[in-house]
Amino acid sequence: MAAVLPGQVLAIPVRRRARPNRPRRLPESTWGYLLILPAVLLVLGLILYPVVYSGWLSLHNKHAYLPIETFVGFGNFASMFGDGEFWRSIKLGAIYGIGSVGLQILVGVSAALLLNETFIGRTFIRGVALFPYMVPTVVVVILMKWILNDAYGVLPYLLKSIGIGEDILWLDTGHVMLTVILISTWTFFPFVVIGTLARLQTIDPELYAAAKVDGAGVVRRFIHVTLPQLRNVLFVVILLRFMFMFTKFDVIWLLNGSSGVGYYTRTLPIYTYIKTFGQLQVGAGAAMSMFMFLMLVCFAMIYFRVFRRDEGL
Amino acid sequence: MIDIDWRQVFSQIALYFGAGLIAVVCGFPLLWMVLTSVRPDRDILSPAPKFWSFEYHWEHYRNLYNLTDFHIYFFNSITIAGTATLLTILVATLAAYGITRFRFGGRETIAGGMLFTYMFAPILIIVPFYILMRSAGLVNSKLGLVFAYTTFSLPFSMWLLRAFFQSIPIDLEEAAMTDGASRVKAVALVIVPLALPGVIAVSIFTFIVAWNDYLFARVLINDNELKTLPIGMDDLYNATVTDWGMMMAGGVVITIPALVFFILVQRYLIAGWGAGAVKG
C-alpha cells in the first residue's frame, strides 16, 4: 500500500515553476459543481425523477404494455382505499415490520453485547456472526426452504427429536408469516450487530469502572451506562431497519412468490408488485408506491421529532 | 482452601454458551448447505438427516455446470457487479472530493439530500424505473442494471467517502501541490491511498448490492442469456422438481464470491460504520 507519509511528501524537491501567462483557473465553486455533477445527475435521473414520475402515474389509469393512459385524478387512490386487500397488506406489513425489526434489535444488541466481552475465539465468532448478512437473499431463502422442508428438513427433525415442534409445517399458511419473520431476522440481525458493536467499542471503560465503584451491578451498569451510550446508534439503526423491512420485497417474494401460501405474507410491497407486473395496472401500482413513500416520510419525520427533542442529534 | 468465585464461573459459562449459540445459529445453516451440496441423493433424501456421513462427491456441481446455464448467469453477475463497482468508485470519489475540498453554494444541502435518498427502497420506484428504462431501450440490457446498481449505492458510498476525505488533512495535498504535483497527481498519489479503506468499503458495499439484487434484475431482464445469478437460481428452483443437492451447490457457488470479498475487507467495513454510516 503506497500510503504517503507527510515527511515523504515534504522530501520531494521543490520544483515550482512560474506560469505568468496561464489563464486564471476555474473558480472554486465551478470545480465543486463539476465534480459532483455525475453523482447528482444519476441520483436525480434515476431516483428522484422516478419518484416524481410515480406521482404522475398514480393520477393516471395506465396499462403496463397497452397504450392506455387516461387521467383519473385521485381515482387510483380512491379505489385503493376501498380495496380490502390493500388494508390487509398494510396490516401484514405492520406485523412483518414490527416483528422482524423487534427481533433483529433484540438478537442484534444481545449478540453485540456478548461479542464485546473478552473470550477465547472472539474474533472467529465475530466473523461467523456476520455470515448470514453476507449470504445472498436468494440463497438464504432456498437454503431455509431446504432446512425447513417438511419431509427432509433438518430443523423439523431436530425439533421433533427433542420433543418440540411436532408437526409444525413451517412453510404452510398457518406459520409462513412467523417463518418469514424468523428468516429475515436471521439474515439481517448482523446489521444491528455491526452498528452496535462499533459503538460499544468506543465506550470509555472508565465509565464502567466508576459505576462499579459506586456499587452498580451488571444490570444497572447496562441500564445507566451502556444504554444511554447506545441511544444514538440504536436510533439510526432502528430507523433504517424499519424503513428497509417495511419495503422489503425479495425475501418474502422469493419464499412464496404469487403462490397460494404467498397470500398470507402479501405485504404492501408484494401487493404493489402483483398489481403492477401481475395485473399490469401501472397506475394503481404507482398509487401504492406513493402511499408507501408518504408513509415512510411521515414515519421518519415523527421519529426524528420525538427522538430529537430529548437527544439533540 | 481454594476460594472459587462462583459468580465468575457462572458468567464465564454463560458467556461461552452464548458464543457457542451464535456460532451454531449463524454457522450451521451454511455448513448444512455445503454438506448437502457434496452428498449423494440417497443421503440427502433420507427422513433422518445424516450428520456423520463420509460419502461425498462433486456430482451436484458437475450437474449444475452441465445441465443448466449457471455459468452464463455467473459470468453475467460478475461483469455487471464489477462494472457497477468501478463506476460507483469513480463517481462517488469525484463527488466526495468535490464536496470536501471545494466550497460552493448548496454543498451541504446536496450532501444531505443524497443521503436522504439512501432510505428509498427499490420497490418504491420500480414501476416508473421500469417504464423509464423501457423508453430508453435499456430493458434486457446489462447496462440498465449497471445504472440501477450504481445509482442505488451512490448515496451511501458518497457519504462514506466524504467522511474519509474529511479526516485527511488538507495540508497534505497542499504540500504535495506546493512541491510541484498537479492536483490530479496529488489526489491520486496522496489522498486516494489514504482513503483506501473507504474506497474498499465502498467497493464491497456496491458489489454486494449488485450481486444480491433480485428485484431490478427480475423486472428488467427476460432473456435467459442475460439473467444474473439471483433470478437464474430462482427460476431453476421453480422450474423443476427440486434437486436439492444441485440447488445447494448453486447456493455455495453464489455465496463464495460475496463471502471472500467480505472476509477480505471486513475490518474496513466496520471502520466505515464508525466513520460515517452511524453518527455519534
Cell of B265: 475487507
The rounded distance, in Å, linking the Cα atoms of A259 and A248 is 18
Question: Which residues of chain B does A36 touch, with a Cβ-Cβ cutoff of 8 Å?
Answer: 94-95, 98-99, 110
A310: left (phi over 0), alpha (psi -120 to 50) or beta: alpha
Evaluate if residue A301 carries a pLDDT over 90. Answer: no
The answer for residues whose C-beta is within 8 angstroms of residue A172's C-beta and 6 or more apart is A150, A261
A42 contacts in chain B (CB < 8 Å): 91, 147, 150-151, 154
Write down the pLDDT at residue A250. 92
Q: Are residues B143 and B22 in the same domain?
A: no
Q: Kindly state whether residue A251 falls inside one of the protein's structural domains.
A: yes
In total, the C-beta contacts within 8 angstroms joining chain A to chain B are 298
Q: Which of A88-97, A230-239, B122-131, B180-189 has the highest mean pLDDT?
A: A88-97
Residue with grid cell 402483483, as numbered in its chain: A274
Between the ranges A75-84, A95-104, B115-124, B204-213, where is the mean pLDDT highest?
A95-104
Q: Tell me if B255 is assigned to some domain.
A: yes
Nearest-angstrom CA–CA distance, A285 and A280: 8
| Cα B155 to Cα A152: distance, rounded to the nearest angstrom | 44
Whether residue B95 is found in the same domain as residue B142: yes
User: For residue B82, what are the domain limits?
Assistant: 64-277
Would residue A83 be called left, alpha or beta, if left means φ above 0 and alpha means ψ between -120 and 50 degrees?
Answer: beta
Please give, rounded to a whole number of angstroms, the shortest distance from the CA of A82 to a CA of chain B.
21
Under an 8 A CB cutoff, do B33 and A146 touch?
A: yes
Nearest to A277 by CA among A129, A57, A64: A64
Inspect the interface and report whether the beta carbons of B262 and A233 lie closer than 8 Å: no
pLDDT tens per residue, range A67-99: 777 888 888 899 999 999 999 999 999 999 999
User: Is there a single domain that holds both residue B12 and residue B102?
Assistant: no
Q: Give the integer Cα–Cα distance in Å for A284 and A290.
A: 10
The reported pTM is: 0.85
Nearest CA in chain B to A14: B179
pLDDT (0 to 100) of residue B271? 53
The CA angle B112-B117-B120, to the nearest 5 degrees, is 150
More confident residue, B194 or A95: A95
Residues B141 and B96 occupy one common structural domain:
yes
| A31-35 LR contacts (CB < 8 Å, sep 24+) | A31/B98, A31/B102, A32/B98, A32/B99, A32/B101, A32/B102, A32/B103, A32/B104, A32/B107, A33/B98, A33/B104, A34/B98, A35/B94, A35/B95, A35/B97, A35/B98, A35/B99, A35/B102
- Tell me the pLDDT band of B146, cut-offs 50, 70 and 90: very high
A32 in a structural domain: no
User: In this structure, are B153 and B229 located in the same domain?
Assistant: yes
Looking at the fold, whether B34 and B144 belong to one and the same domain comes out as no
Distance between CA atoms of A157 and B193, rounded to whole angstroms?
52
What does the pLDDT average to over B91-111?
87
Q: Which domain holds residue A226?
A: 75-285
Single-letter code of the amino acid located at B260:
V
The answer to whether A36 contacts B176, with C-beta atoms less than 8 Å apart, is no
Coil, helix or strand at residue B213: coil
User: Which whole number is the average pLDDT over A199-225?
Assistant: 83
Answer yes or no: are the C-beta atoms of B173 and B107 closer than 8 Å. Answer: no
Same domain, B144 and B243: yes
pLDDT bin (cut points 50, 70, 90) of residue A258 is confident
Choice among A7-16, B13-22, B54-63, B200-209 with the minimum mean pLDDT: A7-16
Q: Which comes out higher in pLDDT, residue A94 or A225?
A: A94
Nearest to B128 among A50, A127, A195 (CB): A50
User: Which one-letter amino acid corresponds to residue A80?
Assistant: M
Of B196, B210, B177, whose CA–CA distance to B264 is shortest? B196
User: What pLDDT shows up at residue A225?
Assistant: 85
CA of A174, closest CA in chain B: separation in Å?
Answer: 22
B1 part of a folded domain: no
Take residue A180 and report the three cell numbers written for it. 418469514
Rounded distance between C-alpha atoms, residue A267 and residue B160, angstroms: 32
Hey, are the CB atoms on B97 and A250 less than 8 Å from each other?
A: no
Residue A265 lies in a domain: yes
Same domain, B168 and B30: no
Closest CA to B157 of B96, B229, B97, B214: B96
Q: A interface mutation test: which of B11, B15, B26, B262 has the most A CBs within 10 A?
A: B26
Mean pLDDT for the stretch of residues B18-39: 93
% of chain A at pLDDT higher than 90? 33
Digit-coded pLDDT (tens) for A245-255: 999 999 999 99
**Which residues on adjacent β-strands are paired with residue A69?**
A62
Q: What is the chain B residue with the closest CA to A51?
A: B125
Given a contact cutoff of 8 angstroms between Cβ atoms, the answer to whether B98 and A247 are in contact is: no
DSSP E strands: which ranges in A103-261? none
**What's the whole-number mean pLDDT along residues A224-249?**
86
The shortest CB-CB distance from B127 to any of A45, A135, A285 is to A285
Q: Residue B1 above 80 pLDDT?
A: no
**A195 in a structural domain:** yes
Among A65, A47, A88, which Cα is nearest to A288's?
A: A88
CA distance A167 to chain B (A): 14
DSSP H/E element including A241? helix A227-246
Nearest CA in chain A to B263: A127
Q: Provide CB contacts within 8 A for B105, sequence distance 6+.
A: A29
**Window A:153-172, CB contacts with B under 8 Å:** 153-154, 157
Cα–Cα distance measured from residue B235 to residue A118, given in angstroms and rounded to the nearest whole number: 45
DSSP assignments along A19-59, one per residue: -TTSPPPPPHHHHHHHHHHHHHHHHIIIIIHHHHHHHHHTT
Residue B90 neighbours by CB under 8 Å, 6+ apart: none
For residue range A100-142, what is the model confidence (pLDDT) as tens digits?
999 999 999 999 999 988 888 888 898 889 889 889 999 999 9
Checking if the pLDDT of B205 tops 70, the result is yes
Binary contact (B49, A14; C-beta < 8 A): no
Q: Do A33 and B119 touch (CB under 8 A)?
A: no
Judged by CB atoms closer than 8 Å, whether chains meet at A152 and B99 is answered as: no
Residue A143, domain member (yes or no):
yes
- CATH number assigned to the domain comprising residue B108: 1.10.3720.10
A61-92 burial, b for 16+ CB within 10 Å, e for fewer? bbebeeeeeeebeebbbebbeeeeebeebbeb
H or E element, residue B229: helix B229-239
**What is the nearest CA distance from B22 to chain A, expressed in angstroms?**
6
- Judge if B137 and B270 occupy the same domain: yes
Structure confidence at residue A176 (pLDDT): 92
Q: Is residue A15, in this structure, part of any structural domain at all? A: no
A306 has a pLDDT exceeding 50: yes
Give the pLDDT score at A87. Answer: 95
For residue A95, the model assigns a pLDDT of 96
pLDDT band with cut points at 50, 70 and 90 for residue A4: very low
Whether residue B266 is contained in a domain is answered as yes
Q: Are A165 and A158 in contact (CB under 8 A)?
A: no
Residues B165-178 have pLDDT tens digits of: 888 888 888 888 88
Q: Chain A residues with CB inside 8 Å of B70's CB?
A: none
pLDDT the model gives residue A307:
66
In chain B, how many domains are there?
2
B153/B207 Cα distance (integer angstroms): 9
DSSP bridge partners of A62: A69
At residue B195 the predicted structure's pLDDT band, cuts being 50, 70 and 90, is: confident
Beta bridge partners of A61: A70
| Strand, helix or coil for residue A281 | strand
Residues B38-46 have a mean pLDDT of: 85
- Residue B165, CB-side half-sphere exposure with 13 Å CA sphere: 22
pLDDT higher than 50, residue B251: yes
pLDDT per position as a tens digit, A187-202: 999 989 988 888 888 8
Q: Are residues B29 and B93 in the same domain?
A: no
Flag whether B229 is in a domain. yes
- pLDDT at residue B266, rounded to an integer: 64
Are B176 and B53 contained in the same domain? no
Instruction: Kindly state whether residues B267 and B155 are assigned to the same domain.
Output: yes
Domains in chain A: how many in total? 1
The domain that holds A135 is classified in CATH as: 1.10.3720.10
Mean pLDDT lowest among A258-262, B153-157, B203-207: A258-262
C-alpha cell, B149? 446498481
**A 183-212 residues with CB < 8 A to B:** 186, 190, 194-195, 197-199, 202
pLDDT for A273 equals 93
For chain A, the average pLDDT equals 84
Chosen from A146, A199, A271 to mutate, greatest number of chain B CBs within 10 A: A146
pLDDT confidence of A20, banded at 50, 70, 90?
Answer: very low
What is the reported pLDDT for B85?
A: 94
